[in-house]
Chain A
Amino acid sequence: MRAVRWFLLIVTLVVLQTALFPSLRVFGAAPDLLLVATVAVAYHRGAEVGAAFGFVAGLVIDCFLASPFGVSALAFCLVGFGVGVFQSGMLRSSRFVAPVLAGVAGLLGGALWVVIAAIAGQDDLFTGHTVVVVVIAAAYDALLAIPVFPFAHWAVGDPDPARR
């Protein structure tokens, strides 16, 4: 049952990302739903699961991008790991955690994606426009974290208490 929920989470977000959000750009920037989901999963389940989910989610969205296959997988995997490590040191959470975490991770994830893509050959990305797009997309990610975090929590659940 849990596997079905994971599957539903990824498929729903990838369909929305590829079919709906290209039409809902703000100043030319679209959010990155699968990155937000990676942040949510890492927040709920820790670094290992966050990194693995980020890798799979990144591979799935890479299927729909023109950039080299694996760029998003690497960027999301590192973001998932980083968020997982960070959240393990958090003493308490608040209702602002989701948007703040998604916004900051969106900023870092976007920057990481650009650097990895540039190393992979897309060196035309180092422009002022790229910085603007990454910042706007991160703000969009922060906003969408509000619905995505509960959805991701429903899909991945809480960690097994016996393993904590």
Chain B
Amino acid sequence: MAVYRSESRRRPILVLLVVTSLVLITISGSSGVVRSVRSAARDVVAPLQRGVRSAFRPVADVFDGVAEVGDLRAENARLRARVSRLEGSLSKERAIGQEVGNLEQLLDLPNIEDATGVAARVVGGPPGNFERTIVLNKGAAQGLVVGMPVVSGTEALVGKVTATSRSTATVTLIDSPGLGVGVRTEKSKDQAITQGRSGDRLMRLNFLGNPRADISVGELVFTAGTDGAAYPPDLAVGRVASIDRNRGDLDPDIFVAPVVDLDALVFVKALHWPPRAGG
């Protein structure tokens, strides 16, 4: 199988395609046309994707099961231990939560309770190898817009809506390298920004307000909810997994593990934030 073409004919075509690609890459971030094309393409393919997902669900389930059976046993034991620990602290936290809620009402601060949202099912993951996204089964037609914070239950931040089509939405997860979340630590209340790292499920805590803050492994970090923040305050983001203060740098290396398993999400809720007038 050989095809013979002169070099002189090949090169102009290649140059044209390369230049066109470079132009598209350059304008892609700011072009509304590119966003519209992406949205339209996702809408056109969405019904076929639904069909394929339904038809191949048993295959995907078997594949997942084979890949994860060892992890599931270990996770089961870990979760049992964690449930018993959490049950102990739940009653205490309820009491504190009630007090905080009362104070927020008195001060008229916006909080998570004010935010209405759209519940959606996770129907897919990223088609590429270098991004951390999930696809939801609801989109612009159901009220999802780019920028909405996405939570699991009502307590844990999962990510942010970064693209929508009429019937689907793409959520960039909090451990994605491109996404930073303003957070505060549980005990010292120091503010910082989490930053995902390529190929790693742990997020680095950057720009810590006080580099010498007393932070310990296992401590939770919550959304900071500063004025005009992209996320509601007090959503759990992660748990401190490791701290390295011995590198001689000004800032310690603090890594945070997401509080929910971002690879096992089934249902999530996209929140209207800031809350819509009248709830």
Contacts and interface: CB of A to CB of B under 8 A. Distances in A.
A162 B197 CA distance: 54
How extensive is the interface on chain A, given as a class?
35 or more
A78 interface: yes
A51 to B, nearest CB: 5
Interface of B: 1-5, 9-10, 13-14, 17-18, 20-25, 28-29, 31, 34, 37-38, 41-42, 45, 48-50, 52-53, 56, 59-60, 63-64, 124-131, 133, 162-163, 170, 172, 177-178, 197-200
Interface in A120-145: 120, 122, 124-125, 127-130, 132-134, 137
A65 B131 contact: yes
A61 interface: yes
Contact of B1 (A69, A87, A114): A87
Contacts of A73: 17, 20-21, 24
A77 B11 CA distance: 12
Contacts of B5: 46-48, 88
Interface of A: 11, 14-25, 28-30, 32, 43-48, 51-52, 55, 58-71, 73-74, 77-78, 81, 84-85, 87-88, 90, 93, 110, 114, 116-117, 120, 122, 124-125, 127-130, 132-134, 137, 158-159, 164
Contacts of A88: 2-5
A63 B37 contact: yes
A164 B3 CA distance: 6
A29 B5 CA distance: 36
A132 B9 CA distance: 38
A47 B19 CA distance: 17
A30 B133 CA distance: 14
B130 A24 contact: no
Contact of A52 (B13, B37, B130): B13
B64 A23 contact: yes
A154 to B, nearest CB: 15
B126 to A, nearest CB: 6
Contacts of A29: 129
B224 to A, nearest CB: 23
Given A19-B48, A124-B177, A129-B198, A70 B3 contact: no
Residue with the highest number of chain A CB atoms closer than 10 Å, among B4, B21, B170: B21
Contacts of A23: 56, 60, 63-64, 124-125
B172 A66 contact: yes
A114 B129 CA distance: 10
B125 A22 contact: yes
A130 B199 contact: yes
Contact of B130 (A44, A61, A67, A68): A67
